[in-house]
């Protein structure tokens, strides 16, 4: 992990850009985090394209920092400036075509999501190794948003993740439901009820499949980008409950 820039943002948040091998990433930290008082960490997912996503990621990182949490994100395989994944581009085009034609999408979703999951999860795990080795970052670790297939795999294989807030806003291969059943950490799942590029019934089936004893589904009106502010606040309180276990729930 090589830091390439450091900026002190307003609100006492330190933003540090880094590269991990050839993967660009951003780490945000409350200025108050020290080796003597290390902070919990949130892995912040997104749909790819760090530059375009930056304003929303920065807002989420500020909200995390307000709660005393560090937050980290990395570029997706094939996203932003990274070399494109030709097969994924093709699968994305095929998915749009199949959806427009009302055809079954299972095979296309497998082709689109599974290789992305395979490539992304080890990168997130290396990021976790690197960030947890910083003296100012302790844990526990939460996982927030992004491509939900990546979140499911990460939550299923990575025991350092203590709680996950997932956005049921993209397709999940049916073959991943078995992994969803193995997840037992507390989950907070957001669903946009009228998400134009998503399958509501698939999302409900997925929520049902998760093995967690504590799981909440919060569905709000509107399309993919229409998550209301109060839903973000409820998700923040979910992390406050689970990453600051000694505190009184807000």
DSSP-based helix, strand, coil % in the chain, nearest 5: 40, 25, 35
107 touches a second copy by CB under 8 A: no
Length of the chain: 250
Measured at the alpha carbon of residue 34, what is the angle toward residues 140 and 146, in degrees to the nearest 5? 40
Q: How far is the CB of 87 from a second copy (least distance, A)?
A: 35
224 near a second copy, rule: CB under 8 A: no
Q: Where are the beta strands (DSSP E) in the chain?
A: 2-9, 13-20, 23-30, 39-45, 70-74, 137-145, 161-167, 187-192, 215-220
Asked if residues 220 and 227 have their Cβ atoms less than 8 Å apart, the reply is yes
x/- map, 1-40, a second copy, by CB under 8 A: ----------------------------------------
- Tell which positions 139-198 bind a second copy, by CB under 8 A: 193
Q: List the structure tokens of 116.
A: 């992305």
Least Å from the CB of residue 139 to a second copy: 22
81-to-29, 78, 103, 183, 248 alpha-carbon distances in Å: 24, 8, 32, 33, 42
CB of 220 to a second copy, least distance (A): 5
Least distance CB 228 / a second copy (angstroms): 7
Q: How far is the CB of 154 from a second copy (least distance, A)?
A: 21
Q: Assess 216 for contact with a second copy (CB under 8 A).
A: yes
Return the residue of 207, 209, 236, 243 that touches a second copy, per CB under 8 A: 207
Kindly list the residues in this chain that would bind a second copy in the complex (CB under 8 A): 193, 204, 207-208, 212-221, 228-231, 233-234, 237-238, 241, 249-250
């Amino acid at each position: 992990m090589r830091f390439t820039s450091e900026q002190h943002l307003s609100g006492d948040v330190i933003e540090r850009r880094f590269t991990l091998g050839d993967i660009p990433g951003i780490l945000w930290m409350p200025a108050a985090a020290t080796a003597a008082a290390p902070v919990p960490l949130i892995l912040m997912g997104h749909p790819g394209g760090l530059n375009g996503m930056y304003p929303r990621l920065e807002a989420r990182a500020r909200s995390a920092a307000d709660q005393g949490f560090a937050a980290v994100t990395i570029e997706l395989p094939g996203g932003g400036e990274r070399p494109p994944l030709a097969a994924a581009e093709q699968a994305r085009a095929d998915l749009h075509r199949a959806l427009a034609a009302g055809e079954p999408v299972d095979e296309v979703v497998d082709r689109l999501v599974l290789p992305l999951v395979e490539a992304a999860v080890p990168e997130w795990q290396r990021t976790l190794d690197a960030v947890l080795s910083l003296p100012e970052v302790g844990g526990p670790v939460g996982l927030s948003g992004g491509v939900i297939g990546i979140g499911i795999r990460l939550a299923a294989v990575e025991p350092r993740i203590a709680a996950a807030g997932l956005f049921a806003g993209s397709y999940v291969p049916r073959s991943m439901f078995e992994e969803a059943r193995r997840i037992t950490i507390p989950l907070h799942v957001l669903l946009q009820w009228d998400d134009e590029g998503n399958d509501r019934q698939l999302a409900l089936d997925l929520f049902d499949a998760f093995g967690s004893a504590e799981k909440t589904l919060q569905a709000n009106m509107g399309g993919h980008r229409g998550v209301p502010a109060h839903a973000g606040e409820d998700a923040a309180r979910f992390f406050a409950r689970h990453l600051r276990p000694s505190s009184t729930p807000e």
